Amino acid sequence: MKKIPLQASLTLLLCLFAFSCGKDEPNDPDPVDTSPSITGFSPTSGPVGTSVTINGTNFSATASDNTVKFGTVATSVDNASTTTLKVTVPEGAQTAKISVTVGGETATSSNDFTVTNPDPTTIALDQETMELKTLDTNQLTATVTGAGANETVVWNSDNEEAALVDQEGNVTATGTGTATITATVDEVTTSCAITVNPGIIVGGTVESDSDAIGVASYWINGTKIELNDGNSEEVSLDVSGTDVYTTFVEYSVDAIYVRVMKNTALHSTLGGMDNNYKTPYAIDVVDNDVYVCGFEYNGSFYDAKYWKNGDEIILSDGSDAVSTDIEVHGGSVFVSGYQEIDGQYEAFYWKDGTPTQHNTMSDLGISAWDIFIDDLGDIYTAGNEGAPNQNQPYVWKNGEELYILGNGDIEGTAYAVTVKNGNVFAVSESATKECGLWINGNMVSEWSGYARAMTVLNGTIYVAGTKYDGNINSYTPTVFTFDTSGNLIEEISLPSDGSDGYATSIVVK
């Protein structure tokens, strides 16, 4: 038998062992790489605030688990997936590489993101100048470019007595004068010069097809606004800020109402909710307090009264009386009117409820229909003296006769008086529809129709009334304007939809 050497046997055994181990334990696979990487980003440049999309691998789908920096300045992640991050270039960033850190491992872009300087903010308005009348509205539009393109425009007026502006650029004219409207973004400002001309606001009625009394209405710079469906008369108005307040009597089957409106919404109803006769004649709004004067039948006689914010103050003392006009001046309340004394009416004015009887040498009835207090505190009233249809128009100063208009040769009633620069202006109308404008007791102009209210502003006299055309028997609500010498400037016809209309009160500011 042939012998195998010992060394060869050991070698054979080692080979068999190695082969056996190789079959039972295969080699381990290569490990998976979970570190983030950046393959690119877009755009590659832009100013602070630019939205940037970063592409890569192994990002976290949870935005807050990714830390992104532009150089050394971190920014928040707006949106995230495992392959895409959306971020915004942060304040303070400079040109540098972008880095993304996830789970303690960081990837850095191979290229820089270039931070550029943004275009400077510019702002422009669509109008450099604007001309309005009081209570007109218009809108300014701002165009903003550059860094502030997405910022909010801040609007401002330097004279809110002339014009207001809201934060949408809407401009409302509040009174005659000028204002500068500014629009500002990022301390960059531009402006529009506003000129406000007098606005004419008139109260009155327009007859409807079914109602000869009329629809309570007012006109703003010639545009008619209706307040109800009809059955109204004696519309008076005042303007406070940008709000128009009106009062009028409204008749219904069940009751007679004294209405007060703020713009076109009901503000309040005054007096009793009954069929007792009542009428408001004037309204004055001061510091958000609303004063209305008129009269109301109490079942036995007519009470002269006024209401302040709905609370009534009775002026008369147990006999028939009517209050016709009201003016709040220097903190005091002045009211004109008339009251029955010993069987005939006498003209009065009341100051804070204290009556002053007019001193007129007449055995006939006397009525005061308008009151005006000048800058010196003198009290002017206008009205009439005489029997019905035989009246003489009068003007009084502090209760004493100042003018008998026409020296007794003119029939009518003076319905309005005002004083400007020492001159006394009045208007009258007669039962035969003859109207007159008077300056210091002298008639300077006349026309056919009615004249119920007046005011003077910037050298122009404005009279609210009605123009009568006898040829077709028509009544047109009209504003007559005159210079301070009494020369007619213009007749402004107010729209009344082809129906008869009557202008009874006016504000010009």
Q: CA-to-CA distance for 348 and 357, rounded, in angstroms?
A: 5
Q: CA-to-CA distance for 358 and 346, rounded, in angstroms?
A: 7
CATH superfamily of 37-115: Immunoglobulins (2.60.40.10)
| Amino acid found at 42 | S
Q: CA-to-CA distance for 220 and 172, rounded, in angstroms?
A: 13
Give per-residue pLDDT as tens, 56-95. Answer: 999 999 999 999 999 999 999 999 999 999 999 999 999 9
Give percent of the chain with pLDDT exceeding 70: 92
Enumerate the domain spans of the chain: 37-115, 122-197, 200-508
Q: CA-to-CA distance for 441 and 392, rounded, in angstroms?
A: 13
Q: CA-to-CA distance for 474 and 261, rounded, in angstroms?
A: 29
Kindly state the tokens that stand for 323. Answer: 């209050």
User: Are 129 and 192 spatial neighbours (Cβ–Cβ below 8 Å)?
Assistant: yes
User: Are 106 and 99 spatial neighbours (Cβ–Cβ below 8 Å)?
Assistant: yes
* Whether residue 280 has a cis bond before it, omega within 30° of 0: no
| DSSP state for residue 19 in the 8-state scheme | H
> Is the pTM higher than 0.85?
no
Question: Hey, how many other C-beta atoms are within 10 angstroms of the C-beta on 37?
Answer: 15
Give residue 447's pLDDT.
Answer: 95
User: Are 61 and 81 spatial neighbours (Cβ–Cβ below 8 Å)?
Assistant: yes
Give residue 338's pLDDT.
Answer: 96
Residue 341's contacts (CB-CB under 8 Å, 6 or more residues apart) are: 319, 357
Q: CA-to-CA distance for 380 and 402, rounded, in angstroms?
A: 9
Give residue 29's pLDDT.
Answer: 62
CATH superfamily of 200-508: Peptidase/esterase 'gauge' domain (2.130.10.150)
| DSSP state for residue 286 in the 8-state scheme | E
- Burial label for 385, CB within 10 Å (0-12, 13-18, 19+), is buried
Give residue 390's pLDDT.
Answer: 76
Strands (E), 58-146: 66-70, 73-75, 77-80, 84-88, 96-102, 105-115, 122-125, 129-133, 137-139, 142-145
| DSSP output for 443-504 | EEEEEEEEEEEEEEETTEEEEEEEEEETTTTEEEEEEEEEETT--EEEEEEPP-TTS-EEEE
Give residue 364's pLDDT.
Answer: 78
In CATH, what number does 122-197 get?
2.60.40.1080
Residue 456's contacts (CB-CB under 8 Å, 6 or more residues apart) are: 418, 420, 425, 462, 484
User: Are 219 and 206 spatial neighbours (Cβ–Cβ below 8 Å)?
Assistant: no
Q: What is the pLDDT along the chain (509 residues), one digit of tens a residue?
A: 344 443 444 343 333 344 444 444 455 566 788 899 999 999 999 988 899 999 999 999 999 999 999 999 999 999 999 999 999 999 999 999 999 999 999 999 999 999 998 788 999 999 999 999 999 999 999 999 988 888 999 999 999 999 999 999 999 999 999 999 999 999 999 999 999 999 999 999 999 865 567 999 999 999 999 999 889 988 999 999 999 999 999 999 889 999 999 999 999 999 999 999 999 999 999 999 999 999 999 999 999 999 999 999 999 988 999 999 999 999 999 999 999 998 889 999 999 999 999 987 667 789 999 999 999 999 999 999 986 667 899 999 999 999 999 887 888 999 999 999 999 999 999 989 999 999 999 999 999 999 999 999 999 999 999 999 999 999 999 999 999 999 999 999 999 988 999 999 999 99
Q: CA-to-CA distance for 259 and 261, rounded, in angstroms?
A: 6
Would 37-115 and 122-197 be classified into the same CATH topology?
yes
